[in-house]
Amino acid sequence: MLHLKARSAVYWSSLDILVRQGLKFVVTVILARLLVPEDFGTVALLALFLGLGALFVNGGFSAALIQKQDATHTDESTIFWFNIGAAVVVTLALIALSPWIARYFELPVLRPLTMLMACNIFISAFGTIHTTLLTKQLNFKALTIVGAVATVISSGLAIYLARSDYGVWSLAWQPVSATICTTLLLWVFSSWRPLMTFSGSSFNSLMAFSGWIFAASLLDTIYQKGYTLLIGKYYGTYDLGIYNQADNTQAAPSSMLTTVISRVTFPLFSAIADDAVRLRQAVRLSLRSVMLITTPAMLGLAVLATPVVSEVFGEQWLPAAPLLQILCLAGLLWPLHLINVNVLRAQGHAKLSFRLSMIKKSLGVVLLVAGTFFGLTGIAWSRVLSSTLGLAINGYYTGKFLDYGAFEQAKDYLPAIATSVMMGAVVILSDRWIEIGGATELLFLIVIGAVSYSVFTLLLGLSALKDSVEFMAGRRSL
């Protein structure tokens, strides 16, 4: 029965991410042509502050509720009220800090901008538990509908504001309007309602797990968004906008899969955490299936970085192309990180997950600071090196607890990498021979890449393809 829910979850979650991320990417392209890099860089300056604020509101309790299979209504209600209370504190704190943030970056517009986007954190707190419970139930059909409606409405508003010359405010109102729509729809689609109670024992029991998740996520957020402070302060909003666009572009294909991985694998792994054989089988199937798609997407994007940036976003964004090529290498490894981390968390190793995060992010911060001495390119390469070292650390403990370490994992995903490299070579040679130019040539090269990868995959008989198809067709269970 679990494998049926897993297949349904993969299908609906994939559809949800495809619709939302697809629409988001299309809207980003439109906004990139209507706005300037400085507008994107200005909003990106707040990424770290808003990320930390959202993290303090959730506190890692969503993961705790998913991991705890016998969570009660009292447990859920307790976390709901904690989220609301924390959201009030965080929102007021950000509003109070807004003048300092504006002075630090010497941009007066950041004061009202911070106030508006701080309200987004408060609004989102009302729907966090609903999302968590729907995820735990692997009910991604409801989340798909909610996400699609919210994305369409918020995207339409952002484009209207950008065309009406509201500049940076179109980027600010997009997430705020999306959160308002999402929260309202979650209360419509979910029958869950909080009890008027707050249990200290429930809070403490969940805190034993969530505290470590929160601490690990805190370090991850600082590392992932820390570059916004460094680039924004020492290089300016233009360079930050360029780098952020490159980072978001490489994340577009990978995030579609990694979000599915994160949402599906953690509750799935948690449900079978006591069965080592089934868990190892599920982890192996997840890794091989994901890399079968992620690898050609990321390497293909790296090969076609310059025409993609030029034809999709416009000539003004061309400085982002070399950064995009480098960041694609880091994005290639990101799904592997998520799978390994989710395995540890599903088995209840939250404390270990935090310790590993401390090691990985400490290394990452050191590399990030060192990279700033070599400009934006140095920062990008620091992400690649940090990602590689982090994967080795994660893989060691997956091998220790599940007998599926970094070396065994590499044997499973290296065939996909080799096939993708062959595809990349075909695309590069085709690019030298074809002289159509413009969007037509880009589309032609994408088709050549997709066809050549498919042919190589079938000719080499990659077993990952067969296993993935059998699982989705119902001929293979976990």
What residues contact 79, with CB distance under 8 A and at least 6 apart? 61, 62, 64, 65, 129, 202, 203, 206
Regarding whether 219 and 281 lie in a shared domain, the answer is no
Rounded-to-integer distance, Cα 26 and Cα 47, Å: 21
- Domain membership of residue 245 (yes or no) is no
Which residue is it, tokens 């044997």? 411
Q: What is the DSSP letter of 274?
A: T
Q: Position 243: which residue type?
A: Y
What are the structure tokens assigned to 199, written together? Answer: 């249990």
List the one residue out of 2, 132, 8, 138 whose CA is nearest residue 71. Answer: 132
Do 105 and 182 lie in one domain? The reply is yes
Considering the domain architecture, whether residues 171 and 319 belong to the same structural domain is answered as no
- pLDDT bucket at 391, cuts 50 / 70 / 90: confident
Residue 457 has pLDDT above 70, yes or no: yes
What are the pLDDT digits (tens) for 234-251? 888 899 999 989 998 888
**Among the three residues 209, 234, 259, which one is the final residue of a domain in this structure?**
234
Q: What is the pLDDT of residue 28?
A: 87
State the pLDDT at residue 53: 84
Statement to judge: residues 90 and 182 lie in one domain = yes
> Which amino acid appears at position 66 of this protein?
I
Same domain? For 110 and 201 the reply is: yes
- Show Cβ contacts of residue 91 under 8 Å, excluding neighbours closer than 6 positions: 53, 118, 119, 121, 122
The reported pLDDT for the residue numbered 421 is 92
Tell me what pLDDT residue 220 has: 75
pLDDT at 301: 92
pLDDT at residue 476 is higher than 50: no
Residue 4 confidence class, pLDDT cut points 50, 70, 90: low
pLDDT of 297 higher than 80? yes
Q: How confident is the model at residue 73 (pLDDT cuts 50, 70, 90)?
A: confident
Which one has a higher pLDDT value, 158 or 206?
158
Q: What do you get for the CA distance between the two ends of the chain, in Å?
A: 10
Closest among 346, 333, 212 to 266, alpha carbons compared: 346
Q: Are 306 and 185 part of one and the same domain?
A: no
Domain count, the chain: 2
Domain match, 230 and 279 both:
no
CA dist 135 and 271 (Å) reads: 13
Average pLDDT over residues 255-278: 67
pLDDT reported for residue 179: 93
Q: What is the mean pLDDT of the chain?
A: 82
Structure tokens at 245: 């666009």
pLDDT surpassing 60 at residue 348: yes
- CA–CA separation, 61 vs 55, rounded Å? 10
Residues 224, 343, single domain; the answer is no
Cα distance between residue 75 and residue 203, in whole Å: 7
Q: Which of 4-8, 93-97, 178-182, 313-317 has the lowest mean pLDDT?
A: 4-8
Nearest to 293 by CA among 404, 413, 389: 413
Q: Is the pLDDT of residue 367 over 50?
A: yes
Q: For 157-178, what is the mean pLDDT?
A: 93
Range of the domain at 411: 275-478
Name the more confident of 65 and 80: 80
Do 134 and 192 fall within a single domain? yes
C-alpha 102/C-alpha 209 separation (Å) is 37
Residues 230 and 293 in one domain: no
> How many residues are recorded in the chain?
478
Token pair in block for residue 172: 């600010």
Instruction: Let me know if residue 6 belongs to a domain.
Output: no
Distance CA 146, CA 416 (A): 34
pLDDT category at 474 given cuts 50, 70, 90 is very low
Give pLDDT, residue 472. 46
Same domain? 286 vs 198: no
Say whether both 286 and 391 belong to one domain.
Answer: yes
Most confident among 181-185, 221-225, 285-289, 396-400 (mean pLDDT):
181-185
Whole-angstrom distance, CA of residue 91 vs CA of residue 84: 10
Other CB atoms within 10 Å distance of the CB of residue 289: 22
pLDDT per position as a tens digit, 399-432:
888 888 888 888 888 888 889 999 999 999 988 8
Per-residue pLDDT tens over the stretch 177-220: 999 999 999 998 888 898 888 888 877 777 766 666 777 777 77
- Point out the domain boundary residue: 234, 262, 295: 234
